[in-house]
Structure 1
Amino acid sequence: MTHTWQISDVTDAARARIATARLAAAYGVPPLERTRLAASLGAQLRQCLTKGGTWRLTLDTGPSASGPSGAGERVLHAVVTPSREECAAGEPPWRMAVACPEAPEGAGRDAVADDPAALSEALLDADEDTALVLHRLREQEDLVAFHREELHQTNQGVVALHAELDAAGRAQREAFAAERKARTEAENARRRLTFLADASAVLTASLDHHEIVRRLPELLVPEYAATADVWLFDQDAARDRSSAHPAAAVVAARTGRPQYAADHPGGLPGVGDQPPSMLNPGRPLLCIPLVPRRAALGVLTLSPPGERWDPDDAVMLIELTRRASIAIDHARRYEQNRDIAETLQRALLTELPATPGLGLAARYLPATHGLNIGGDWYDAFRQPDGGVIAVVGDVTGHGLRAAVMMSQLRTALRAYAVDGGSPGRLLTRLHTFLHHLQPDLYATAVIARFHPDDPTMTWAAAGHPPPVLRTPDGRVRALDAKPGAMLGIPLEQEIADHTERLAPGSTLALYTDGLVERRARGIDPGIERLAAALGAFRSAELDSDLEGSADSILDPMLSDSERDDDVCLLLCHVRGSG
């Protein structure tokens, strides 16, 4: 159905608007859409009246192009077209469509009266629709306000979450930085401890204090010091010259406390600050006293590898210097004890007697490891009846105590030999003497007795390697008769004598185990090597040069330069009749 209105003034426009609203209501157009249609139409009609002329409003109902069912739903079309002049001017028509249910029966064109009462009623109807629209608008505003508040709360939560995430990220970065710092510090501490342990092992491995003083700067330069100087007090005194040393080194020597000399405070724990050294004002110096016990031995003066030292590095350097001072002190004490013991031992190794018909040659070499002084000894002397006693012995242990015990055994043997007595009897008396004098010390010994009027040699051994005999025809054998037990053990024993007939040109070798025993090979291969070396000589060589023969035996026997024990060799050669 089509409805048409001609509009030329405001009254026509009002009537058309009212009719459109009533017709939309009659067709069941919802209030909101109805109000939107009326308002849009009113605005368009106002524009038309402003332009002037006559306008036509056409309302038409019919199906839309498509709908949910596919057959198209019913819509109300509103079209405002201009008069013939405006169309010629190209004025386009105004169009609007609203959905509506099926039109009721008998819906037609309603005329709008011109009286005020009808217009007022129509106005009130429009206000009622407007109020409904405003109510719907208020609901939407409330809903928008609710969602706005909800969105605000969500934004606040997001902001708080971002703040928490930022704080967590910052805390994580700080934790990572602290972990890296701790890892770096732990690595530096491990590096210092490793260096301290390795350097300490190097310094304590030597018993030569000159070697320790030489190695100390080599260990420190260039990683922990640019320069390193060791000032030992007794060295300057021995050289009889005055060396220039920094004032801070003198203060360190006097106070026993490390000193730091520079134009700025060092901030090093346990270290005093001093003005810069006049010898080198532009370089900081760390002066650490070498104090093993109470008195200082000297001062170690260091310059830093960079601008200054790390405090932890300085603590490590002070500890290393303390260990070095102890190593130097121990080396000096060892050297003093070694010199005393070696002097004592060599004083006790007396010259061999000149005996008709019997040649004697002896060699003694200290060990190359340890204190170098042991209880090995040899001796040869005449008895009142003209016999000659030759002895080689070995006191257990090393050092001054072993050397002193060796001296006492030597003296006791000479005293016992004055009364005569065979080698076995002499060893038995030495066994009793040592057991009562030093119950915790033991010794081994072998004694051979020669007499110019008797071609028979008598010998006895107590826990000692067997003598080796070379006969004039060049054959060599070990005298393997069963020896007695070690001297000094808590056991009563009578050491037996053994006899051996010696032809002119025979040679007897008495020795200690340091000559023949090696840890990796035992003692038997060494005795075989000694027998081979002794058998390689000719009788004429032994007759003419027994001393040189002793050296020739030692050279191949001691080809290795490292020895854990002393070496003692005594050759007894029965000269030929010619």
Structure 2
Amino acid sequence: MIRTWHISTVPDAARARVDTARLAAALGVSDMERTRLTTSLGAQLRTCLTQGGAWRLELETAGEPPEGVLLRARVTSGDEVDAAERPTWQLTVACAEDAPTTDAGGPADDHETLAEALLVADEDTARVVDRLGEQEDLVTFHREELEQTNLGVLALHAELDAAGRAQRDLLAAERKARGEAETARRRLTFLADASAVLTASLNHDEVVRRLQGLLVPEYAASVDVWLFDGDEDRVNAPRPAAAVVAARTGRPQYAADHPGDLPGVDDHPFSTLRPATPLLCIPLGTRRTPQGVLTLAPPGARWDADDVVMLIELTRRAGVAIDNARRFEHNRDIAETLQRALLTDLPATPGLQLAARYLPATHGLNIGGDWYDAFRQPDGSLITVIGDVTGHGLHAAVMMSQLRTALRAYAVDGGTPGQLLTRLHIFLHHLQPDLYATAVIARFHPDEPTLTWAAAGHPPPVLRTPDGQVHTLDAKPGAMLGIPLQQVIRDHTVTLTPGSTLALYTDGLVERRAQGIDPGIGRLAAALGTFRSEDLDADLDASADRLLHPLLSDSERDDDVCLLLCHLHSRAAELVRTPTELAF
């Protein structure tokens, strides 16, 4: 349906507007849309009348229920000449779903209809104004809510900012605490590692050298160790006054031109020996008396207070390590002197050369139960013996001395090596039930070209024949001496020709923890086989040293080493036969 109005005067425009409102109402257009349509149309018609000329209003309904009916209003020029220059106005509104598509009523020609239409338009406008008022109230309400929300957001932002600052402060504090904990851990680790390094040596000079290496350059630019009873030049060298005060009072001193404020450290004027350098002087204390002073120069401008606490503790431990090393060295010297005093001077025998070597263990007090001996029996036989008492220390050394004395006493009455060992077994079992020993006795007789030997729990002798062959004399030995077992130890014999060499030794020469004893005996036999009879004839002592060198390539030994070489000279017969001497 299309309806058209021709408009050239104000009454024409008013009627067209009224008819449009009536038609929109008939088609069920909503109040809001109807007011929008009539208001917009009225404004457009006023504009057209202002421009002058003839205009045309067309109202067209389109669409079918129930898809939806639309009402389209279009204002165009009524003059064909200037229609192209005048723009077209158009507005479309939605009608009710059941709006009729046929004619909804004629035009409003009478005054009563126009008046009624005007009142209806006012009613529509009033409803729209009411709704706009409601919307305005709603907008005001939402504006207030928005303002409250904004205030809440601002407060939330402020709280978040404060929380962020607090979190940053906490993170900074955590990083600082973590850094301090890491530094403390590093100090404790250094202190533990340094203590292990210092206590690993029992040489006080080595402890001092290691202490200097540990502190420079991280904790000190220079280190001076003043030991009170050390070298003369070390004792008599000029010392800072703070070091003397530290030695006298036993308290650490800080010598500088400014206060140190260090925990547990007394401030002292700067040293005239080194006026430009702060010095930290820490006594090297022990359980008894101070034995020295450690003087340090800082690695930088000055020390950290926690580093000084660590340095004082490290110095205390170093003092204990130096004291332990000195005490050990003193006891070692006494023990070694005692040990060597218990060893025997080998007898000189024409035709038969003897060479012995004793090397104390490098660990412990260096006093043990290894011993060797050589002496003659009344019948002219030469007894050679090597043995080892279990354990270390003065107790083992005293027991070794008693065994050696007992063996010499038993040998006065004669007896074979096996008989002598059997007596020693009974003697040790009754004298020291909890102490054991091993031994090998070899007897050389001037009138017999034989070697008689017996062993009790000891590594077997090694015999080198003149042709360079080496044999291990491992015939069935007896058990260890002193064990709670009744035993009779057997003798064994072997032919001995000039140029032969017998090697008696203790297990410290051949036994290694990781390898056992058999490989060591093999190395000893191989090394002995490399010697020539001429070399052994010429200098048996030098040969003993040459034999020990490859077998003791490692400088650290857990056990004593004892070696006794018995060499029958290649020209033994020419050397021993004289009218006044016993054969040998």
TM-score, normalised to structure 1, is 0.75
SS at match of 1:300: strand
SS at match of 2:361: coil
Q: What displacement does 1:212 show?
A: 1.7
Q: What displacement does 1:106 show?
A: 6.5
In structure 2, how many angstroms separate the alpha carbons of the residues matched to 1:108 and 1:236?
A: 140
Q: Please list the CA deviations of residues 357-383 of structure 1 after superposition, one character each: whole Å capped at 9, or x if unmatched.
A: 543222222334554443221112234
Contact kept, 8 Å, 1:233 with 1:298, in 2: the verdict is yes
* Structure 2 residue 332 is the aligned partner of structure 1 residue 338: yes
Aligned to 1:156: 151
| Aligned partner of 2:196 among 186, 194, 201 | 201
* Structure 2 residue 267 is the aligned partner of structure 1 residue 274: yes
Aligned to 2:83: none
Superposed counterparts of 1:493-508, under 5 Å: 493-500=487-494, 502-503=496-497, 506-508=500-502
| Aligned partner of 2:411 among 409, 417, 433 | 417
* Structure 2 residue 321 is the aligned partner of structure 1 residue 320: no
CA change 1:145–1:380 in 2 (3 A) is same
CA change 1:491–1:397 in 2 (3 A) is same
Contact kept, 8 Å, 1:227 with 1:302, in 2: the verdict is yes
Q: What displacement does 1:345 show?
A: 1.0
Superposed counterparts of 1:44-123, under 5 Å: 62-63=58-59, 73=71, 105=106, 107-108=108-109, 110=111
In structure 1, how many angstroms separate the alpha carbons of the residues matched to 2:494 and 2:22?
A: 160
Contact kept, 8 Å, 1:17 with 1:38, in 2: the verdict is no
In structure 1, how many angstroms separate the alpha carbons of the residues matched to 2:191 and 2:568?
A: 61
In structure 2, how many angstroms separate the alpha carbons of the residues matched to 1:492 and 1:189?
A: 64
Contact kept, 8 Å, 2:254 with 2:280, in 1: the verdict is yes
Counterpart amino acid of residue 197 in structure 2:
V
Contact kept, 8 Å, 1:16 with 1:57, in 2: the verdict is no
Q: What displacement does 1:277 show?
A: 2.5
In structure 2, how many angstroms separate the alpha carbons of the residues matched to 1:482 and 1:34?
A: 134
In structure 2, how many angstroms separate the alpha carbons of the residues matched to 1:59 and 1:474?
A: 146
Q: What displacement does 1:244 show?
A: 1.2
Aligned to 2:475: 481
Aligned to 2:221: 226
Aligned to 1:432: 426
In structure 2, how many angstroms separate the alpha carbons of the residues matched to 1:475 and 1:18?
A: 148
Contact kept, 8 Å, 1:448 with 1:458, in 2: the verdict is yes
Q: Please list the CA deviations of residues 267-296 of structure 1 after superposition, one character each: whole Å capped at 9, or x if unmatched.
A: 55x532413532444444333332342422
Q: What displacement does 1:178 show?
A: 4.3
Structure 2 residue runs of 5 or longer lacking an equivalent are 26-30, 78-85, 96-102, 575-584
In structure 2, how many angstroms separate the alpha carbons of the residues matched to 1:473 and 1:63?
A: 144
CA change 1:554–1:280 in 2 (3 A) is closer
Q: Please list the CA deviations of residues 70-92 of structure 1 after superposition, one character each: whole Å capped at 9, or x if unmatched.
A: 99847698x9xxxxxxxxxxxxx
CA change 1:275–1:35 in 2 (3 A) is farther
Aligned to 2:139: 144
Q: What displacement does 1:476 show?
A: 4.4
Counterpart amino acid of residue 153 in structure 1:
Q
Contact kept, 8 Å, 1:515 with 1:557, in 2: the verdict is yes
Q: What displacement does 1:219 show?
A: 1.9
Contact kept, 8 Å, 2:227 with 2:234, in 1: the verdict is no
| Aligned partner of 1:446 among 440, 447, 469 | 440
In structure 1, how many angstroms separate the alpha carbons of the residues matched to 2:327 and 2:566?
A: 39
Aligned residues: 544
SS at match of 2:573: coil
Aligned to 1:88: none
Counterpart amino acid of residue 139 in structure 2:
V
Counterpart amino acid of residue 230 in structure 1:
V
SS at match of 2:474: coil
Superposed counterparts of 1:258-273, under 5 Å: 258-262=252-256, 266=260, 268=262, 270-273=263-266
Aligned to 2:346: 352
Q: What displacement does 1:392 show?
A: 1.1
Structure 1 residue runs of 5 or longer lacking an equivalent are 7-14, 49-54, 80-92, 112-117
* Structure 2 residue 565 is the aligned partner of structure 1 residue 571: yes
CA change 1:143–1:555 in 2 (3 A) is closer
Aligned to 1:374: 368
RMSD (Å) for aligned C-alpha atoms: 4.8
Q: What displacement does 1:570 show?
A: 1.9
Q: What displacement does 1:162 show?
A: 2.8
Aligned to 2:577: none
Aligned to 2:456: 462
Aligned to 1:303: 297
Q: What displacement does 1:148 show?
A: 1.1
CA change 1:96–1:421 in 2 (3 A) is closer
Contact kept, 8 Å, 1:253 with 1:289, in 2: the verdict is yes
In structure 2, how many angstroms separate the alpha carbons of the residues matched to 1:395 and 1:527?
A: 20
Aligned to 1:547: 541
Over the matched positions of the two proteins, sequence identity in percent amounts to 69
Aligned to 1:363: 357
Contact kept, 8 Å, 2:464 with 2:471, in 1: the verdict is yes
Q: What displacement does 1:161 show?
A: 3.7
Counterpart amino acid of residue 285 in structure 2:
V
Q: What displacement does 1:354 show?
A: 2.6
In structure 1, how many angstroms separate the alpha carbons of the residues matched to 2:7 and 2:504?
A: 154
Aligned to 2:392: 398
Structure 1, 101-110 or 442-451: larger mean CA deviation: 101-110
CA change 1:56–1:24 in 2 (3 A) is farther
Q: What displacement does 1:510 show?
A: 2.2
SS at match of 1:352: coil
In structure 2, how many angstroms separate the alpha carbons of the residues matched to 1:179 and 1:390?
A: 76
In structure 2, how many angstroms separate the alpha carbons of the residues matched to 1:33 and 1:156?
A: 38
CA change 1:242–1:506 in 2 (3 A) is closer
